[in-house]
Structure 1
Amino acid sequence: MKSTGISRRMFLSSGAVLAGSAVLAASPLKNWSFREETPSVGEIIDAFIAQVPSGAIPHTVDTLKAGSRDTKVTGVVTTMFATIEVVRKAIDLKANFIIAHEPTFYNHLDDVAWLQQDDVYQYKKALLEKHGIAVWRNHDYIHAHHPDGVNKGVEDMLGWRQWAVKDQPVYELPAPQPLSGLIAELKKKLGIASLRYVGDLQQRCRKILLLPGAYGGKAQIEAIGKYKPDVICCGEIAEWETAEYVRDARAKGDQLSLVVLGHIASEEPGSIFMIDWLKQHFPKVKAFHVHPGNSLSFA
């Protein structure tokens, strides 16, 4: 699925000073399969940026959150969140480079000024430093990649590529199916134990609006108005926004449902996309995908 032009909640920063080292301008992609030396963190980062049509993105949040560009890579872990558990797994795997999609230090900009006296932050920072682990956030660049690496990962995992509507975040199934069946398919293919929805489980759904991650209520609601789906499947919501809009739409008489997949479940397939990219361009580097698990549980 190609980019639709809809603004994402976490695509570009406001231009504030970011934590970590700035990503350098993209350099030409090197074919590391014909080189003997171990690539550095910076060389892998630059190789990925070199494949993004826009090149280097000003004011990006995709900076190093720990470690150095000059570190020689012993192994790479791709993941949604570089949690302490993921860091420990990287240590066990003897991997010293983590490519994470989302923040490492609990806010979009990874601003750590307010965390200097926080025990959790200090523990995590010390753990990364002790084991010489570099952490790079790959958010803006993977979404700017063509195709969008996260969307492609989700599409591949669902097996929906043949149903994609060109240049739209929409999939049209060959035949309508009940919302209950769609939910069961999403849970099975994305590995989701439980999810939330608004709608009638017997509603027939054919046109699906798929918005992984956190687009924000305004963008989600505008996309509903633009594409007129039977169901919107999104990563996460603010409960007072899209859920209430869909509830009112149904009260008005619209056949519209909402399925909330969860942020991690809806975007973790992008980390699998990164594994495939690494194996293609850096085949001599050990690369592992480590799922961070879900932070929230259902009682």
Structure 2
Amino acid sequence: MNKSSFPESPDINRRKFIGNSIRSAGALTMLGLSSYTSAERASVNRSYTVQDIMNLILNEGNLSPLKETVDTLKFGNPDQVVTGIITTMFPTVPIIEEAARLKANFIIAHEPSFYNHNDHADWVKNNSVLKEKHALLAKHKIAIWRFHDYCHSLKPDAISYGVAKKANWLSYYKTGQVTLTIPTISFSDLTSHLQKKLKISHLRTIGNPDQSCQKIALLPGAWGGQRQVGTAETERPDVLIVGESPEWETVEYIRDARAFGRKISLIVLGHAVSEEPGMEWFTEWFQPKLPEIKITHIASKDPFTWV
């Protein structure tokens, strides 16, 4: 495999992405494309590179390039012409294989591709699985861009909005707020509602099934124990709903809080399944802005088998 088949370092990718974004934004303005409709843009240029797509997302979302971000091109060539786009949470091997089957050569993933936050290739030396994944991507000429920081920077935040929509809670959702006040419901019925609406087969919970719940804190993904506990303290919700949590932090806080008589419960949805509705909604948001290219959302699903 030649050197160009492997992804560049995140720092190089970040500098290139910011530079290209600024230059492309200027070019769009000069051509008058920034104010064109999607159909009008298509009449000017019907092909898009990976870099064009990234720039278009920032432009359509009114987002400025971030100097410090994990949202870099993790694999592939920014100048590659895009034949199709896949959105997902994690770019797993089955997702890559399905992308190849669909002849989609650009994956937009919310979370890391190579098992650590910054996708450092040397996180574990001589990682055989990482090498196989590189080879699979190179074989099918598939590029991967992480869309995390920008995704959460959209107005509204694509992830929380998508989850609220999927849970049928948009009437109670307010941009920029993590708490929602929903009609009173028992803790047992709330867990059943989330399982049904988010299509999650198993949840982990701490709480009294008969507890009356109305104020909830919705924290999909991995906010970290400090922010989860901080939210519980400042917002005083009836229920804390999280994607994942270190068991020795938020989980133990909830257990002790309940032991002291506080009426607070915890629902752990699972990381991938808790944020997947957000990437699904992002796809709905972006497709009309890019009608020339098919955008398909594929759920990466819960990685665990429950026994």
What's the TM-score once normalised by structure 2's chain length? 0.88
Distance in 1, Cα, partners of 2:149 & 2:123: 24
Distance in 1, Cα, partners of 2:79 & 2:37: 19
SS of the residue corresponding to residue 280 of structure 1 reads: helix
Distance in 1, Cα, partners of 2:87 & 2:106: 9
Query: Which one is further off, 163-172 or 149-158?
Result: 163-172
* Paired residue type of 2:298: V
Distance in 1, Cα, partners of 2:197 & 2:294: 26
Distance in 2, Cα, partners of 1:159 & 1:19: 40
Structure 2 counterpart of 1:110:
119
Query: Which one is further off, 114-123 or 247-256?
Result: 114-123
Q: Return the structure number with greater helix share.
A: 2
Q: Which residue, 169, 172, 175 being the options, matches 1:163?
A: 172
Distance in 1, Cα, partners of 2:269 & 2:66: 29
CA apart distance, 1:167: 4.1
Kindly, what percent of the aligned residue pairs are identical? 40
2:261 corresponds to 1:264: no
Q: Which residue, 98, 104, 114 being the options, matches 2:107?
A: 98
2:30 corresponds to 1:21: no
2:190 corresponds to 1:182: yes
Distance in 2, Cα, partners of 1:42 & 1:253: 54
* Paired residue type of 2:195: K
Q: Give yes or no for contact 2:179–2:218 (8 Å, CA) kept in 1.
A: yes
Q: Calculate the aligned-residue CA RMSD, in Å.
A: 1.6
Q: Give yes or no for contact 1:51–1:145 (8 Å, CA) kept in 2.
A: no
Distance in 1, Cα, partners of 2:222 & 2:111: 11
Structure 2 counterpart of 1:219:
227
Q: Give yes or no for contact 1:165–1:172 (8 Å, CA) kept in 2.
A: no
Distance in 2, Cα, partners of 1:200 & 1:251: 12
- The 1:217/1:115 distance shift into structure 2, 3 A limit, reads closer
* Alignment map for 1:49-198 (pairs within 5 Å): 49-115=58-124, 117-165=126-174, 167-174=176-183, 176-198=184-206
SS of the residue corresponding to residue 13 of structure 2 reads: coil
Q: Give yes or no for contact 1:100–1:136 (8 Å, CA) kept in 2.
A: yes
* Paired residue type of 1:130: K
* Paired residue type of 2:182: L
Distance in 2, Cα, partners of 1:31 & 1:285: 15
What's the TM-score once normalised by structure 1's chain length? 0.90
* Paired residue type of 2:154: H
Q: What is the number of residues matched between the two proteins?
A: 282
SS of the residue corresponding to residue 248 of structure 2 reads: coil
Distance in 2, Cα, partners of 1:148 & 1:208: 18
Structure 1 counterpart of 2:3:
none
Runs of 5+ in structure 2 lacking a partner? 1-8, 29-33
Distance in 1, Cα, partners of 2:174 & 2:300: 31
Structure 1 counterpart of 2:31:
none
Q: Give yes or no for contact 1:116–1:122 (8 Å, CA) kept in 2.
A: no
SS of the residue corresponding to residue 21 of structure 1 reads: helix
Query: Which one is further off, 87-96 or 52-61?
Result: 52-61
